[in-house]
Chain A
Amino acid sequence: QHLAFSNGAATATRQEKTIAPANSKSIIKVLGELEAIYKVSFNYNSDQLEGKFIKNDLLPNKTSLEQTLKLVLRPFGLKYEKLQNNFYLIYAEKPTSQNLPIERTGLKRAQVAAIDISGKVVDEAGAPLPGVSILVKGTSSGTATDATGNFTLSVPSDDAVLIFSFIGFMSKEIAVNKQTVINVTLVPDAKALEEVVVVGYGVQKKSVVTGAISSVKATELENQQIGRVEQALQGRTSGLTIASSSGAPGAASSVRVRGATSLNDANDPLYVVDGVVVGDGGINYLNPNDIESIEVLKDAASAAIYGARSSAGVILVTTKRGKTGTINVNYNAYYGTQAPARKLDLLDATQYATLINEQSVNGGGKPVYTNPESLGKGTDWQSLIFNNNARIQDHQVNISGGSEKSTFYTSFGYFGQEGIVATDISKFNRYSIRLNSNHKLAKWLSFGQSLGYSRVKSNGGVGGNTDFGGPLSGAIMLDPLTPVIVTDPTELKAVPYATQAVVRDAQGNPYGISKVVQQQVTNPLAYIQTQKGNYDWADNIVGNAYVEAEPLAGLKIRSTLGARLNYWGSENFTPLYYLNANQFSIQTSFARNRRQLFNWNLENTASYSRSIGNHNFTILLGQGAYLDNNSSGLTVTYFNLPVDNFDDASMNYSTAADNINATGSEGIHHTVSSLFSRLTYNLKEKYLFTGIIRRDGSSRFGANNKYGYFPSASLGWVLSQEDFLAGNNQVNFLKLRGSYGITGNDVLGDFRYISTVGGGRNYTFGNDNYLIGYSPDAPANPNLRWEETSQLNFGVDAVLLQDWTLTLDWYKKKTTGILQTVVLPAYVGATGYPYGNVADMENRGVELELGYRKQVGALKLDVRGNVSYLENEVTYLGEDKTFLEDGAKLQNSSYLLTRTALGHAIGSFYGFQTQGIFQNQGEIDAYIAENGNKIQPKAKPGDFRWADLNQDGQITADDRTFIGDPTPNWSYGFTFNTTYKNFDLLAFGQGVGGNQIFQGLRRLDIPTANWQTNALNRWNGEGTSDTYPRLTTKDDNKNFANPSAFYLQSGNYLRIKTLQLGYSLTKETIGKVGLQRLRVYVSSNNLLTFTKYTGFDPEIGGNNMNNYSIDRGIYPQSRSFLLGLNVGF
């Protein structure tokens, strides 16, 4: 938030922005008159005084200045402080001691004047700052600037250090060092405690907030290369675990506020953009550059105002708005290249053939390749699909400004990113336009709107993190023996090149088809050809309009209508192709998918704020109605068009009806109807209380449980307002707070509370007499009730030693009655799974946010860091039930990889414990049970020795146990921002710790798939390895098929996400050409990642507990180098 301070002397030249009502005067005018009468100057923030009027008949006459000020200012909650030299500071709330006017510190003119210093203090725009206190460090002497920002001061010696401080600005220290003229520029302090925080249906001063709310401001996001909103939060707030599900352009990230709240899809926080619940479809449409602030409501007390959909936390996004004054035009851009941050170490042809031979012999077969050495290096598939020069660019223009009647903010943005994997089929483009404006129709009536439009076009043919195909799994698993293209004439004349629709390169050479690796693993270059041109698109219009009336002072009535209009779809052409014996297409098809969605919500609120003596309170009452999933879609497919590629495909070709296939669908509406209220109260801003209650009705629940009630209460105590801390120089601000509340979610299917009947249980009688059958979907559960999340939170907010800010939170979040599909035993014969309130879960955690800012001479420092610790435990799963039946799967793994069980974290890795490798037959024979029988009689040397955990003398499913946790316990981030003269340097890093990753890069049902180089360390004779078993085509011991710690690796990482160096041209240089700002920078993203993980990337998000931290070949993150430009007019 930009603070536009102005001084009284300047008011003469300043226009009144608002016309005073009859018989009234604006306060600004009154102050101007007082300045003339009493020959004083006032310093105030015009934003705080703007629009405030006083009736003429209330104006006192012929009293003292001080009395007049009290009378005029008090009704508006304003105060004043007398500074030096007839300067008065007028402010809206008590300033912190950090910025205490100089008189408070017992300032006296220095008695002994050794050196006289003079200078001028200005703000970033060059405007003089009057009333800035200047203190000689370590003494109580100092002065303040006059109306023109000038000061003079005598200091005892050369080594004196001056501290310049002013409310709303970052304080600055400057060593005198023989200078006699010291000119200082102060920069606004966005983190000051008078900062306001968006709390849902309103704003609150941060100093009196009682909930646990983290916020990220636009200034922190400036010049950071952020493709999506989630990335803006990663590492910048505590309490969030954010992991991207892919490095593909435009890919979403999973966002968990204080860990997973539920077992179902209700783990995604609720996004509210400018007051509009965005809901499903996410916030991909939003241009991150338009964001003014993001607030994360973490505890239940804060989130409860969003009731039934807030259990996973609420993320409030506020977009930028115009400000009264001159028109600002900004152009920000960057351009850069990206390359994969890391490649896998895979075997070359010789190594591969060697291991294949060994594997074959161990399996009882013959060596396959007679002379592995002769095969050389072979094909490096990774290098063929990776692009080391993928472009990324971003262009943003925004124009903002306004008059006293209207303000506006308009932006145009373009973001384009090429993927680093198979760029031809991996691209993302977003065009966006935003139009926000506010209008004051009358003194008591205002109107405004926020409107964002975006078009997203993405080519997402790479996929990734699947063991079922795509260029990545091809590059990882395809053997290095297969040539990229086939040129050998004999081979070209043979099967399949001579007979099948093999895919060819631009020169007409067929791409090589592996003779040994098949299934979904194909030549990635050929695969890319089959996907060329296919794309997804989405048009989004998200906006709201509000009207706000203030019929009485303090009473605000507001009505907001928001809507999301979304059109999206895809275009896909499937040519004839033959990738291998399993992957081929024998007819062309051209599919067009179109879907649309129109969601709306209506909210009406009334709030009343009043101060009675020391009692300040605000009451909010509100009503809301929400409709979403109002969607429909169509897919039409044309088969056998007379074309062979995407570009030529068209539905204009005359096509017989039996070559056209169409399907359609409609969404079942989801409606929520709500009533909510909030009481905020404080006594002298010292004792704070907030209480919330919300009632939500949801269409997704039966009559028995249609409505849910979500209450919360929070208390705060600002200790620094107490006498014993007032004026304390160590503890400048200190607040203790505690909260408890209940939130919920209704993320479950529709009509789950009644038994439904579904079609599609079809059967054919006679000659293609294809009949539609109907049967019940799943046993009904009429007692389905709201999932509830209760949360207890204790927190501390503090400003210490002037420069340090600290926020510490402890919480306990308990979710009861978790809604999830119940996996019934198959003997029930149900066709679907019913929903049930199946589990209870608890998250406990601690979060710390620390900040330090300081200006020493020309060096400005701003360091922020946060760290969060989280523990998750399943506490109840139903009578006698100790685990849920579902879990993560991997192709041909003998068992599920994960298990959600009582007393453990959700989705914990579950498998066998290995006790090293049998080095010889003797060890196998010696591995006996109590009864003397061999535990693994069929094992061979080189096989894993499995732990017989239940000691029944054999290795069975019952010997599995919990072997790891996919969810990080620790997540942290830090930002180091420093400016020296015209240079600025930014380092931003982020990391997680405490989790494991299951590395399932190699498909078990393809024994000929390529290996990573660690396979060279496999057991191949006594003493060769105790961790990597022998290779064999007959894995009777299930060394590889059994999930075990063999596949687990530490998921810890620390990543330098951004390293940026910028240079700003001085105003003197660029002012001549009419520029306000010109900055150029170089930046690198993902420059360094510190991790022991051996896959592409340790950051592996997922949508649910069944894919989090499971690596099936994730699309790697890119490392980029960028050149950027910021221009302001």
Chain B
Amino acid sequence: CQEDFLEVDPRATQIESNYFKNAAEVFNGLVAAYDPLGWEGDVASGYANFACLVAASDEAYGGGGSSSDVWYLQTMNNFNLLDPANGPQLGFWQRNFTGVSRVNTIISKLEGNISGLDEGTKKRYIAEAKALRAYYYFDLVRLFRNVPLIITPLSTDEIYQVEQAAPEAVYTQIEKDLQEAIAEVNLPNTVPAATEGGRITKGAAQALLGKVYIYEKKWKEAVQQLAEVNGTPGGTSKYGYRLLPNFADIFRPDNQFHSESILEIGHTAIAASNWGNTSKVEGLIASTMFGPRSYNGPLYYSTWGGCPITPELYNALYHDPRFKATIADVDSLVRIGKATYVPGYMNTGHFVQKYAPLQSFKSTGAGAATLNYPQNYIEMRLADTYLMEAEALVEGGGDMARAAALLNAVRARVGLKPVAATLDNIHQERRLELATEGHRWYDLVRTGKAATVLAPMGFEAGKNEILPIPLPELNNTKLVQNPKY
């Protein structure tokens, strides 16, 4: 009787040893492995999302209410402020390592006997998980270079024994994971957009592998992968990818998983997210960072005023057909008396349009509207892979005609005349086509231009190409801080 008295009802608390035993439970584990894709950090660890990379590049300033508001943006916009304790690094670190850990867990669980799970589905899950692990590690190795490589669940004894791996070893693992995923026949080429959009497909895995090769400067391998993703320039590829005719449609919150989207991270308002546990926020917080402060007027709603567009980007895009879809010209609205707002720190009057908080999509359900903006973030799209393949072709001495066709397909879509497929032209096209989508800073770093272009922001060569290892990670561990931090 006494023994029974001390055994209490777990009230829906699941015991791990009893879980992951059937098809539904392992699918839940797979969902958990996808979950960190949508994480954008929080107050405690620093908001970490592509807005930080936009601020880190020459596209935008920090913004916000003051020089010390939106600190994660300020530290990326002024590298003097970035140190192991200050910056968005812990948010990035947590997101990706949580993803790695969940992948490792679900892969190990899938090795067991799962009732009701057929072999094909099991292999598909494993392939998806491996591709996710590659994705997370690719983010880590690009942002931090020196990271621990963990590919099985850590036992309690191993936790404090972990050391950083050579970046090459991490890249090798990323390639291996992606190659294995791509080789898996059960990984589908495409998925039904309405119900499974955003799940890893063969096309997404290949596009990612191509991008990984670009960062490794393995041009030929990159071309090999990206060519399959891209297919005939301007046409529909074997995975169904095709450039959208209208550039602005790419970023419409109601136009999800369209033919140009390759890797898209889902966000939604239906979770009614709220303040508290921001790792559970399912809306796109980046949008909340981008909107003007105390704004009153058409189109947008008032948010935090982060990432005001630099005059350099504004001028570069001013005569480009993509201007309107890229830059929110709030200043013009004010000038014609249609809107008012409170200028924030380093305000320029121009804001990010592609992921702006649009009134028409503002969440009016439960939860804070600022945390429930329902726009997906497109991590990779076809124009990006076109331009990457073009760049790889030029760099690796490949088919120059195809390089030009790829580049000019991107230009033609917005009505621009063809240009020669030079590296400069390709880089410039990437800057304009992909502006404020979070790629510019990585591009500047991998092409070695960062030190020059970002010098006014205090960028120090040999240091700021990567982020510092988050300070708490050095507490009682064997991790070593990145050079010069």
Contact = CB atoms under 8 A, between A and B. Distances in A.
Contacts of B155: 779
B85 A764 contact: no
A881 B160 CA distance: 10
A828 B100 CA distance: 9
A79 B35 CA distance: 80
Contacts of A764: 38, 198, 266-268, 271, 282
A494 B340 CA distance: 9
Interface in A300-330: none
B14 A671 contact: no
Interface stretch (A722-730, A887-895, A915-923, A988-996): A887-895
Measured as residues with beta carbon below 8 angstroms from the partner, the interface class of chain B is 35 or more
A673 interface: yes
A825 interface: yes
B66 A766 contact: no
A824 B162 CA distance: 12
Contacts of A938: 80
B161 to A, nearest CB: 11
Nearest to B272: A661
B101 A828 contact: yes
B217 interface: no
A587 B364 contact: yes
Contact of A774 (B14, B44, B90, B472): B14
A589 to B, nearest CB: 8
Interface stretch (B118-126, B203-211, B313-321, B473-481): B473-481
B98 A699 contact: no
A1033 B67 contact: yes
A880 B477 CA distance: 10
A647 interface: no
Contact of B98 (A639, A823, A825, A831): A831
B37 A825 contact: no
B102 interface: yes
A495 interface: yes
A625 B3 CA distance: 12
Contacts of A515: 342
Contacts of A654: none
Q: How large is the interface on A (under 10, 10 to 19, 20 to 34, 35 or more residues)?
A: 35 or more
A637 B365 CA distance: 12
B31 A762 contact: yes
B471 interface: yes
Contacts of A768: 268, 270, 374
Contacts of B473: 825-827
A750 B99 CA distance: 26
A473 interface: no
A756 interface: yes
A781 B268 CA distance: 36
Given A581-B302, A775-B32, A776-B16, A500 B101 contact: no
Nearest to B155: A779
A773 B28 contact: yes
B296 A500 contact: yes
B246 interface: no
A774 B29 CA distance: 5
B141 to A, nearest CB: 13
A1033 B20 CA distance: 54
Nearest to B478: A825
Interface string B84-111: 1110001001100111111011100000
Given A500-B296, A587-B364, A673-B6, A668 B195 contact: no
A1 B34 CA distance: 68
Interface centre among A586, A698, A834, A889 (most CB of B within 10 A): A586
B101 A830 contact: yes
Nearest to A363: B67
B404 to A, nearest CB: 36
B147 interface: yes
A697 B3 CA distance: 9
Interface string B287-328: 000000110100000101100000000000000000000000
Interface in A626-674: 637, 639, 658, 661, 666-673
B366 interface: yes
A895 B86 CA distance: 8
Interface in A488-533: 494-496, 499-500, 515, 518-519
Nearest to B69: A1005
Contacts of A881: 476
Contact of A1004 (B68, B199, B280): B68
Nearest to B2: A673
A751 B15 contact: yes
B156 interface: yes
B15 A754 contact: yes
Interface of B: 2, 5-17, 19-20, 25, 28-35, 37-38, 44-45, 65-69, 71, 80-81, 83-86, 90, 93-94, 97-102, 104-106, 147-148, 150, 154-156, 159-160, 162, 192-199, 256-257, 266-268, 270-272, 280, 282, 293-294, 296, 302, 304-305, 340-342, 364-366, 369, 374, 470-473, 475-477, 479
21 contacts: A495-B294, A581-B302, A584-B302, A625-B5, A671-B5, A673-B6, A697-B6, A751-B10, A751-B13, A755-B17, A762-B35, A762-B282, A765-B34, A766-B193, A766-B197, A825-B477, A826-B473, A829-B101, A830-B101, A882-B476, A957-B83
8 interchain residue pairs of minimum CB distance = A829-B101, A773-B32, A773-B31, A581-B294, A764-B266, A761-B32, A775-B32, A755-B16
